[in-house]
Amino acid sequence: MKSYNNVTLIGRAVRDPDFKDTGNANARVQFALAVDRPYKDAEGKHPTDFLNVVAWGKLAEICHDYIQKGCLVLVSGRIQSRSYAAGAETKWITEIIADSVNILEYRQAKVAAEDKKEVKARKKAA
């Protein structure tokens, strides 16, 4: 039997992405995505899952440039678990490895900042 590992999520970025240039032209970005569950709990609220997302290469650079805290983001990719040693303990992490990321809603402040950069660039070119 073949296995299948595919996930698609829509949620809001919990914080600005953490960007690392790992060398060899292989950038890495990590950010947390808050994804509401489709039902309400006893208090009438939607429980929220906080999921770690990792993107590599050009996709990482794009995420770093355009995602910021509060953006509504669609992520498609796969689930990956890995372990690492923390002293005498072994810690496990589950992450979403992104294959594609679509920004569905920008934070207004980011859009305004990008517009200002464009205007300045056009003024310099003129």
CATH number of the domain enclosing 103: 2.40.50.140
Average pLDDT over residues 40-63: 95
Is 97 within a domain? yes
Report the pLDDT value the prediction gives residue 106, as an integer from 0 to 100.
83
Report the pLDDT value the prediction gives residue 79, as an integer from 0 to 100.
98
The 10 Å Cβ neighbour count of residue 29 is 24
User: Is this prediction's pTM over 0.95?
Assistant: no
Tell me the HSE value of 45 on the side-chain side, using a 13 A CA sphere.
5
Is 119 within a domain? yes
* Confidence band, pLDDT 50/70/90 cuts, at residue 22: confident
Is 60 within a domain? yes
Weakest-pLDDT range from 5-9, 78-82, 107-111: 107-111
Could you tell me the residue range of the domain that residue 115 belongs to? Answer: 7-125
Report the pLDDT value the prediction gives residue 58, as an integer from 0 to 100.
93
